[in-house]
Chains A and B, each alone.
Chain A
Amino acid sequence: MSATATPPRNSPPANEVQMADDVRMLLTGNHAVSYGAMRARPQVVPIYPITPQTPIAEKISDLQLAGDFDVDLMTAESEHSAMSACITASLTGVRVFTATASQGLMLMHEMLHYASGARAPIVMVNVNRTIGSPWGFWPDQTDSLAQRDTGWIQYYTENGQESLDTVIQAFKVAEEVLLPAMVIHEAFYISHALEPVTVPSQERVDAYLPPFDPPHKLDTEIGESWGNVVNQDMFYRHRKDLGAAMDRVLEASVRADAEYKDTMGRGYGILEKYRTEDADLLIVAFGAMVGTARVAVDMLRAAGKAVGLLKIKLFRPFPIDAVRAAVAGVPRLVVMERNFSPGGGGVLHQELKAALYGMPDPPAVHGYLAGVGGVNVSPKKMVELAEKALTDEPVPGSVWQR
């Protein structure tokens, strides 16, 4: 905090990130998020601990104590309160960051709607973890996918570097369209895996991400109130406005990513095609499974199979046109995903089929529920599944595969 000029006792060793240049560090995915958040300079971080999100909060606390991260860390008594404070802090006109996982996200659910309705550009990292009951701690995307209707932008990342970079990009997009954004990575596979990560310099991030200055805010000099009761017509128009803002995210995300690439040298797009040339089959995946799929695709290509990968990074809004363009001419797709919507199947599977409906010569779409509950899907297993998808006739529903 600004008032804390001298580092308090018990601070970590003089910090490794007091640097003007980008630095390369060995970081877990969660710690990478903490550094990304620090660079984005949020002023208030209301947060509540939950496995496997806790290293994010802990690292932010350490960075704050060391004097590197000038932030007001509010240790809320619940995720619900944390998100409640996020919304009002954001509406008061400061940049806000938080992180949660699983049950925490479930508890926030009500306030997630409030956040998007309030058009509060909060950025939150969710670490995907199984939702009880029964109790578990395993990677599973169902928690965040269950929030797909809350009006939050959703980015799914495949490693710590991407999480760090996406947190910064997410602020840029969120503050442009005035919608909250969730950056999502999976428990342990990403959250706790150590990888070399480049932390961009503060100067570069500052150049990329200007200070937050919303057009409306809770300010006694302005006097506007937020949230007074509306009539049907106003609610209709409000939702329509929200939808239009969400639609703008597609273009804004592409632009934000391109600018980021120009500044930092790294970019991701809103989706990514990997070795898709002349493919007979594309594996469609998001999250941690993308990394595995890259290896599987390499193995399949080495074996002479024309199989590629389509990575979905931006899930909300769902990039329908980009997805259609990416799969045009490909005869078969197989979705491999770590989530399950009972009675519906794999969420990406449903979303993809819906996106392709009405497309001329659409690909056949297989949906494999691989890895639900954190079950490991190895590259070898993925190769097997891809081969199966190359020959099997697709069925309408998602198929359990392990």
Chain B
Amino acid sequence: MYTYELDEEKVFNSGHNACPGCGEALAVRYVLNTMGPKTIGVVPPSCIAIICGPQPYSSMRIPVYQTTLEASAASAAGISRALKRQGKYDVNVLAMAGDGGTYDIGFQALSGAAERNEDMVYVCLDNEGYMNTGAQKSSSTPYLAVTSSTPGGKPSDKKDIAEIMAAHRIPYVATATVGYPDDLARKVAKARDMEGMRFIVVLTPCLDGWGVADDGAVRVSRLAVDTGFFPLYEVEDGERYTINHGPKGIPVERYLEQQKRYRHLDEEQVKEIQAGVDHRWRLLQARVEVAEGHAKAGPRTTNRMRGECT
């Protein structure tokens, strides 16, 4: 039987304002409670900012700075650099942004921080759209998903942020989801104990935005993994790929049918999405093979990003 062994510290607090059953709140729990109290957070406008709590109360028992939507990575860099100047090398810096603040408007700051290999853990809580403003599409919204700005279904594909970040050759990139909280916590812990830029994208179902039942966040995010829609994997130094959880032979339709945003799909469209899922899975496996080939070829010459901030 599958059981979870999770070691949490008390950082995330009850009484926050997330919707009942919120997948993102669950992700925040494992991100914060794994990062631990020796952490300073940065949060841009997002559902996470709402979860943070209204002044003068905070749901997070760490200092958190709420920045602008496009500035998370830069704001986190400012903290990280100030901490080092203060000699506080044992304090973690954690940015927690949504997909809008990561894939879209926050991307420049994120890419810049990655290039400089800023010392932070950047967690993108990806609910595939601007959910806090009423479910508009973002560049993370998947193909054909209905949002309030794509009522006929999104005509373009979801940006592959994990691959983009891996291409920055930062020390650590991972995908995770709340359906696999142990995997999520392990990745956060691993990232926490590394140095330089670490990036984790966490798929967090938005019950309202996706049209999922109150008790469905875990089920749906698990299906995202088990159908291969959102495989869980890690990339170290931009080249060493490890797949943690991949498709289990469940058709993607099982995932789509749980969500109102896909209710309009016809049979052909479902097939098209399945084909895309299959194709991306093959590509990912190919990357793993390439990485394994390199490993066999001999001692690894470093591909690692050098840091500006030391």
User: How many A-B pairs fall under 8 Å by CB?
Assistant: 156
- Asked whether B263 is an interface residue with its Cβ less than 8 Å from the other chain, the reply is no
Given contacts A80-B70, A234-B55, A92 and B83 within 8 Å (CB-CB): yes
Give the residues from 83 to 137 in chain B that come closer than 8 angstroms, CB to CB, to chain A: 83-86, 91, 108-109, 111-113, 115-116
List chain A residues, Cβ under 8 A from B77.
Answer: 46, 74, 76, 81, 85, 88
Instruction: Say whether B82 contacts A93, CB under 8 Å.
Output: yes
Number of B residues whose C-beta is below 8 Å from A? Answer: 50
- Contact assessment for A85 and B86 in the assembled complex, using a CB-CB cutoff below 8 Å: no
- Give the chain A neighbours of B40 by CB distance below 8 A: 92, 218-220
Across the interface, A85 reaches (CB within 8 A) one of B56, B63, B66, B81, namely: B81
In this complex, what residue of B is CB-closest to A82? Answer: B74
Asked whether A229 lies within 8 Å of B78 as measured between CB atoms, the reply is no
**A114: Cβ under 8 A from any B Cβ:** yes
Which A residues lie within 8 Å of B18 (CB)?
none
Q: A145 to B71: give the CA distance in the assembly, Å.
A: 24
**A84 in contact with B66 (CB, 8 Å):** no
Taking A44-B85, A72-B81, A225-B58 as contacts, is the C-beta distance between A80 and B63 under 8 angstroms?
no
Residues in B whose Cβ lies below 8 Å from that of A395: none
Q: Inside 8 A of B85's CB, which chain A residues have their CB?
A: 43-44, 72, 94
Q: Is the CB of B308 within 8 A of A75?
A: yes
Chain A residues whose C-beta falls within 8 Å of the C-beta of B109 in the assembled complex: 77-78, 80-81, 84
Residue numbers in B under 8 Å from A85 (CB-CB):
74-75, 77-78, 81
CB of A219 to closest CB in B, whole Å: 6
- In B51-87, the 8 Å CB interface with A consists of 52-58, 60-68, 70-71, 73-79, 81-86
Chain A residues near B74: list those with CB within 8 A.
46, 76, 80-82, 84-85
- B258 at the A interface (CB under 8 A): no
Query: In whole angstroms, what is the CA distance A111 to B77 when docked?
Result: 15
Min distance, Cβ B92 to any Cβ of chain A, angstroms: 9
**Cβ-based interface call for A215 (8 A):** no
Give chain A residues whose Cβ lies under 8 Å from the Cβ of B82.
Answer: 43-44, 88-90, 92-94, 96
- If A44-B82, A44-B85, A78-B108 touch, whether A84 touches B68 (CB-CB below 8 Å) is yes
- Interface pair B81/A223, CB less than 8 Å apart: no
Evaluate contact between A228 and B66: CB separation under 8 angstroms. Answer: yes
Asked if residues B50 and A224 are in contact (CB atoms below 8 Å), the reply is: no
Interchain CA distance A225-B50 in the complex, whole Å: 13
A87 at interface, CB cutoff 8 A: yes
Asked whether any CB of chain A lies closer than 8 Å to the CB of B310, the reply is: yes
**Assembly CA distance A46 to B113 (angstroms):** 12
Q: Is residue B285 within 8 Å, beta carbon to beta carbon, of the partner chain?
A: no
Q: Confirm or deny: A303 has a beta carbon within 8 angstroms of a beta carbon on chain B.
A: no
Given the known inter-chain contacts A72-B81, A72-B309, A93-B86, please indicate yes or no for A77 contacting B115, CB distance below 8 A: yes
Name 23 interchain pairs, CB-CB below 8 A, sorted by A.
Answer: A1-B310, A44-B82, A46-B74, A46-B78, A74-B81, A74-B308, A76-B77, A81-B71, A81-B77, A82-B74, A84-B67, A84-B74, A85-B81, A88-B42, A92-B82, A220-B40, A225-B58, A225-B66, A227-B64, A228-B52, A228-B53, A228-B57, A230-B55
Closest 9 CB pairs between A and B? Answer: A77-B112, A227-B66, A85-B78, A81-B74, A88-B78, A92-B82, A84-B71, A84-B74, A89-B78
**What residues make up the interface of B, taking CB atoms closer than 8 Å to A?**
37-42, 49-50, 52-58, 60-68, 70-71, 73-79, 81-86, 91, 108-109, 111-113, 115-116, 308-310
Besides the known contacts A78-B109, A88-B78, A91-B65, 15 further A-B residue pairs in the complex with CB atoms under 8 A apart: A75-B116, A75-B308, A77-B112, A80-B71, A84-B74, A87-B75, A88-B77, A110-B68, A220-B37, A223-B61, A225-B41, A225-B58, A227-B65, A227-B67, A228-B54
A-side interface residues toward B, CB under 8 Å? Answer: 1, 3, 43-44, 46, 72, 74-78, 80-82, 84-94, 96, 110-111, 114, 217-220, 222-231, 234
